[in-house]
Structure 1
């Protein structure tokens, strides 16, 4: 984000006025569009409000903007007396379309992190740089000759990567499959997007966990799906409700995250696994199993996926590199019947003509390399260390104001606050105190729940971050 140069001889207000005039001339703020308020712009630029007031006054004197009491400051429709022309109503376009924007809390978190990167980040789902295999991947890239062909590749994904995944899935997840039943995607979210857009229709009913990561994805609402809840407790999702949902709403698909579920960190127990598969087979319902966290099991003994128990071919299995290696590679995968893989590969080819070959080559090399297992061991150890730092900080700062079950894998700690407070107020107060988190209502729960993700924050920032959160919570309570 642009900031005025405090070392420049030009006054700050003139720099701001010039910058805004340039953005207006580029069409970023078309005629008639609303500018940020003086207070908000001052916060974004790190200046006093009086400086922004002077900048606005300069632009008003040139006829570039106009202010009206109660309606804010807008770009003039008749700048410099020019003949008015018809400008597209970009605001209407931005608010239109069928694909919904991110939920407001997630947009607010992203805005806060952009404005202040020093915030302790308990919200982001990606690994911190120290947990990613940066040195190992750099070593592989130096020692491997990558293809000189940079054209479009197989729409199902780079064949050597699918072959490497076939071996990986057998060894680490006990899933028997073939390369023709694997589709490479840019991550779990693209896999879910393809499923919701291509295998379901507007008005279809689906069952998702409650709370669930799926609630944070507007793609489900954008696809016109009706979402029905399957409650999650400390033993995972409760499958008994599936029959009732099928009778009442004719649900067409079940979405589940059985191992170290996001956001609760729970693991589906054996009895419920068997029951879920039994009911799905009885009703002929497909299950979409999202399994990003299994290999982070701190004991090093990952629970098998539902897909490894699938005897009827009912499960679409989704995996990703993002939570165990490097989100920047943008590599995910889907295991499904070949007819489904071909359908979704065709749809994905219409979107982007396939993924870049080079990240797929890097991912394939890493999966087959001697670096992969040592990386997993180090990742588990460091995630466990960060989890313990987080728990220690919460027990120190909020011993009587927070409740949680301790996860045995994954990236998240799901907490209930005692007493419950307003989500929006708590998030804003926490931002003021230097920390962000995700309110539980983003995942479909009531107010008074929070998700702390400990994979992103630096170890030395976890204690101060929880101290900032505790201060914010106490200020709201008292």
Structure 2
């Protein structure tokens, strides 16, 4: 019987069974384990490698599938092949080991599928969180391009914080929301998502706590988790985050930061009330917790202007304010901004320069023109009218097709209706069944820390005709799944 003194390293990110597979193949390739050599029984191997028996079973299954070993009833497991064809395939660089050992975690499987299915032909996108092609202001864009074409003298790298003219324009623009920040306290980023990435890299150590609403868009990302930080979902009521939840979950021995979308929350569409905003600021000040305010949906109000941003009441520099034109104009510009204390912005800009040397120069030039010329404000006025029409039509369709199987909110702005099913069905089954019917949905369990029976319905992307077809078809799929689940339970 062969002697094994090697042990897999449990501190490695590479799965234990893969380490064992790689070790045995290496021993075969060097001739240490010859053809005909019998491997010890599974129980003995688990003792030798100091792992669970299930890990051994997984390793042996892979070795069998790749043709290196063979198991016979009563005869144990034997090495049966060391041919060059097999070994040459394994002697190549194994990229899987590198991928598995990387820092950044992969997207949730459902989100990976969403990202791929969005670009399939004839798919109806019921959950996409961006303005649809119909909402793009082509005529205004042509005017901007004409104006910018004469201003482009070069397209070199810009200073770390971004184009000064754009930062000045944004500084002036934010005054309409009672936010007073200088251009030196603003960083131009490639969308609010990059702002979150920079914050995670720049000011938070591993082990930090990230407090946020439950459910939350941030839950669908792995920005903070990949760096060893912990996401904590906080309960909400009809006013927003419950302040006592912040106090109860504040880390005493670890750094803690609050991430919130107080205005037209993603995915629920909720708006934090003015009194709750004041209470939240006071609570975070008491607990000495900084705040990331994600305000990318603010300009998309429909029924009434929402309460002022948290940043407008920030007297102590506790709030990092995130804005973007991805939701209000077009995500393809890849332009957003962070406003905060100047020394924090300096830190973020230094890390940004280490990652991409600055956001698109031509996009920054165009957004400067968009906002500075007043065309952006004109576009928003038209966009709100279109979003109101789309929201109301979507609510009509839901009333026709979902009234007996779901409940939902009536958003006052933003893109999303947070629909809750009345029946407890598998959202994974629903997602796959809908995808087969060319219907793409965003199931609520990608945003929720607990079990969710919700769907995020977006009225911003698909055309009204597609929304009607897609939602009615989705209603039929849900009803079919409910009948199937009911039938199974009877038996």
Give yes or no for TM over 0.5.
yes
**Deviation at residue 235 of structure 1 after TM alignment:** 2.1
Given the alignment, which residue of 129, 135, 143 partners 1:131?
A: 135
Q: In the TM superposition, what whole-angstrom CA distance separates every residue of 1:128-185 from its partner, at most 9, and x where no partner exists?
A: 11212232122111133233222211010011100110111112x2211100000000
Other structure's SS at 2:236 match? strand
Match of 2:307?
303
Q: Relative to structure 1, is the Cα distance of residues 249 and 422 closer, same or farther in structure 2, using a 3 angstrom cutoff?
A: farther
**Partner-residue secondary structure (3-state), 2:93:** coil
State the partner residue of 2:456. Answer: 451
Judging changes above 3 Å, is the alpha-carbon distance between structure 1 residues 85 and 240 closer, same or farther for their aligned structure 2 residues? closer
Q: Does 1:336 align with 2:362?
A: no
Report how far residue 458 of structure 1 moved.
1.1
Q: CA deviation at 1:83?
A: 6.9
Residue in structure 1 matched with residue 437 of structure 2 by the alignment: 433
Structure 2: runs of 5 or more not aligned = 1-24, 26-61, 68-81, 484-491
C-alpha deviations, 1:246-294, integer Å up to 9, x for none? 2666552111100010001001112211110111111221111000111
Matches within 5 A, 1:45-444: 86-114=91-119, 116-144=120-148, 145-171=150-176, 173-246=177-250, 250=254, 252-299=256-303, 301-444=305-448
**Larger CA Rg, structure 1 vs 2:** 2
1:313-345 per-position Cα deviation (integer Å, ceiling 9, x unaligned):
110000000010111100000001110111010
- Rounded to whole Å, the distance in 2 between the matches of 1:246 and 1:183 is 28
Shift in CA distance, 369/72, structure 1 to aligned 2, threshold 3 Å: farther
The alignment partner of 1:190 has SS state of helix
Q: Decide whether aligned partners of structure 1 residues 310 and 432 sit closer, same or farther in structure 2, where only a CA change above 3 A counts.
A: same
CA gap 1:420/1:143 in 2 versus in 1, 3 angstroms: same
Write out per-residue CA displacement over residues 196-244 of structure 1, whole angstroms, 9 at most, x where no aligned residue: 1111011111211100111011112112111222112332211221111
**Separation (CA, whole Å) in 2 of partners of 1:232 and 1:87:** 52
TM-score (ref. length: structure 2): 0.79
- The 1:81–1:320 alpha-carbon spacing in structure 2 relative to 1, beyond 3 Å, is closer
Question: For residues 148 and 405 of structure 1, do their structure 2 counterparts lie closer, same or farther at Cα, with a shift above 3 Å needed?
Answer: same
Q: Whole-Å Cα distance in 2 between the matches of residues 242 and 82 of structure 1? A: 56
Query: Is this contact kept in 2: 1:258–1:266, CA < 8 A?
Result: yes
CA distance in 2, matches of 1:82, 1:280: 59
Match of 1:463 among 468, 478, 490: 468
Once residues 402 and 79 of structure 1 are traced to their aligned partners in structure 2, the CA distance between those partners, rounded to angstroms, is 60
The 1:353–1:399 alpha-carbon spacing in structure 2 relative to 1, beyond 3 Å, is: same
User: Are the structure 2 counterparts of residues 419 and 148 from structure 1 closer, same or farther at C-alpha, using a change threshold of 3 Å?
Assistant: same
Contact 2:270–2:411, Cα closer than 8 Å, also in 1: yes
Is the 2:257–2:290 Cα contact (8 Å) retained in structure 1? yes
Report if aligned partners of 2:164, 2:183 keep a CA contact under 8 Å in 1: yes
> What is the RMSD of the two structures over their aligned residues, measured on CA atoms?
2.3
Q: Per-residue deviation at 1:301?
A: 2.1
The offset of 1:80, in angstroms, is 9.1
Alpha-carbon distance, 1:84 to partner: 6.5
Distance 1:282 1:92 in 2: 46
Shift of 1:71: 5.2
Unaligned runs of 5+ in 1: 1-31, 33-67
2: CA distance between counterparts of 1:473 and 1:380? 31
8 Å contact kept, 1:202–1:225: yes
Distance 2:229 2:89 in 1: 43
SS of equivalent to 1:240: helix
Task: Give the Cα–Cα distance (whole angstroms) in 2 for the partners of residues 112 and 81 of structure 1.
Answer: 35
CA distance in 2 between partners of 1:274 and 1:228 (Å): 22
Q: Tell whether the 8 Å contact from 1:420 to 1:447 is kept in structure 2 after alignment.
A: no
User: Contact 1:140–1:365 (CA<8 Å) still a contact in 2?
Assistant: yes
Q: Alpha-carbon deviation of 1:437?
A: 1.2
Q: Is 1:472 the counterpart of 2:470 in the alignment?
A: no
2:92 is paired with a residue whose SS is coil
Rounded Cα–Cα distance in structure 2 between residues aligned with 1:448 and 1:159: 46
Cα 1:211–1:381 shift into 2, 3 Å: same
